[in-house]
């Protein structure tokens, strides 16, 4: 799976002769090959694509990167020399760069060594990555199935006395065991009062009876991320806990019902936010309804109050409203949806009704 051709087709519209990709997520999107950090460079011209990396990854890149010339970068002939060679070979005058990812220092280094004009062009990749093709959707669903398998098994471990850290570690292990390449972010496990922190860090706190446990986790499969959140109760749940849970679930369903191609991200967010506000918990919904999911766990487009742009068909967006009452508890329920003409598809299979574990 690669997208060199799609990038090439957008060069003229972006006003550049070629696109330079140094950020790990964009290199992965372009080439289908995953390496960490800055350990590689992809370069797409109108005639040919290139993928350059060092000796640690060259053998794997040669096996996995298709539709591009794969070449070794060495201390004697580094990325700048390889880039200048391709620029001269293809008569490139203007190079698009990832202005939303590249640091000022990196840009200045390239400008001082490369014989071409650099122009901001992150928008080229943002627009492409926002709309998933069939292979990308297959990878996203595959990542979700792995996470769901881990969820089904972790329920056996949630009981009084088990710590948040122990559950987070077990989730990580299970996802890797069932085929994940990595976690898509550090798992969040928050119980009791810790649940009021949307991005709580797991602690040594033991689970107690009568508490909610919120688990937000995901994995990487074939380079693409999954993302899901489930909140369960242990032992028993108070009437208020059940009321808040129903409110969040109703809000998620309202947002999902509003999601379709052409509708703004803010309209989707507002549909969910209204349900929470009408139930009297509006001040406790403190983040957006959702965000794009793909080669990065957070990417465009977004279903937030500030996203006025229409959601495109083929976008993949999380659906994760929550209510967080400081010092008491929190509830979040998260699925991932595929935006389509006339509606959307929820790719999750894990049940969402309130589960009270013994």
What are the residues facing 94 on neighbouring strands? 117
**Sign of the CA dihedral 65, 71, 75, 79?**
negative
Q: Which CATH architecture has domain 4-129?
A: 3-Layer(aba) Sandwich (3.40)
Of 207, 279, 272, the closest CA to residue 240 belongs to: 279
63's CB contacts (< 8 A; 6+ apart) are none
- The CATH number of 134-357, from 3.30.420.10, 3.10.20.600, 3.40.50.2300, 3.90.230.10, is 3.90.230.10
Q: Where are the domains of the chain?
A: 4-129, 134-357
Tell how far CA 186 is from the center of its chain. Answer: 12
Please give the model's pTM, rounded to 2 decimal places.
0.95
Helix (H, G, I), strand (E, B) or coil at 207: coil
- Where does 32-161 have alpha helices with state H? 58-64, 79-90, 104-113, 122-130, 134-154
Per-residue pLDDT of the chain (358 residues; tens, 9 = 90+): 899 999 999 999 999 999 999 999 999 999 999 987 678 999 999 999 999 999 999 999 999 999 999 999 999 999 999 999 999 999 999 999 999 999 999 999 999 999 999 999 999 999 999 999 999 999 999 999 999 999 999 999 999 999 999 999 999 999 999 999 999 999 999 999 999 999 999 999 999 999 999 999 999 999 999 999 999 999 999 999 999 999 999 999 999 999 999 999 999 999 999 999 999 999 999 999 999 999 999 999 999 999 999 999 999 999 999 999 999 999 999 999 999 999 999 999 999 999 999 9
């Amino acid at each position: 799976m690669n997208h060199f051709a799609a990038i090439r087709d957008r060069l003229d519209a972006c006003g550049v002769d070629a696109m330079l990709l140094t950020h790990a997520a964009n290199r992965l999107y372009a080439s289908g090959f995953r390496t960490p950090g800055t350990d590689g460079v992809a370069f797409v011209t109108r005639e040919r694509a290139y993928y350059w990396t060092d000796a640690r990854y060259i053998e794997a890149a040669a096996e996995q990167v298709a539709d591009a010339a794969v070449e070794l970068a060495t201390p004697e002939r580094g990325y700048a020399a390889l880039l200048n060679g391709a620029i001269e070979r293809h008569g490139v005058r203007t190079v698009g760069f990832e202005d939303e990812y590249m640091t000022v220092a990196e840009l200045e280094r390239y400008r001082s060594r490369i014989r071409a004009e650099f122009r901001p062009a992150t928008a080229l990749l943002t627009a492409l990555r926002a709309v998933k093709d069939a292979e990308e959707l297959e990878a996203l669903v595959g990542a979700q199935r792995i996470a769901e398998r881990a969820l089904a098994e972790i329920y056996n471990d949630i009981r009084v006395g088990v710590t948040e850290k122990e559950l987070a570690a077990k989730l990580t292990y299970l996802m890797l065991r069932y085929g994940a390449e990595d976690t898509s972010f550090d798992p969040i496990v928050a119980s009791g009062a810790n649940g009021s922190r949307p991005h709580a860090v797991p602690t040594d706190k033991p689970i107690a009876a009568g508490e909610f446990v919120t688990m937000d986790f995901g994995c990487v499969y074939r380079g693409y991320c999954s993302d899901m959140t489930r909140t369960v109760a242990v032992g028993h749940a108070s009437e208020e806990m059940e009321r808040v849970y129903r409110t969040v679930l109703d809000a998620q369903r309202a947002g999902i019902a509003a999601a379709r191609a052409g509708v703004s991200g803010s309209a989707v967010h507002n549909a969910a936010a209204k349900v929470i506000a009408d139930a009297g918990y509006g001040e406790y919904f403190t983040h957006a309804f959702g965000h794009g999911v793909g080669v990065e766990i957070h990417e465009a487009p977004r279903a937030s109050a500030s996203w006025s742009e229409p959601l495109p068909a083929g976008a993949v967006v999380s659906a994760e409203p929550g209510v967080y009452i400081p010092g008491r508890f929190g509830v979040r329920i998260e699925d991932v949806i595929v935006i389509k003409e006339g509606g959307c598809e929820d790719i999750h299979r894990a049940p969402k009704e309130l589960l009270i574990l013994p």
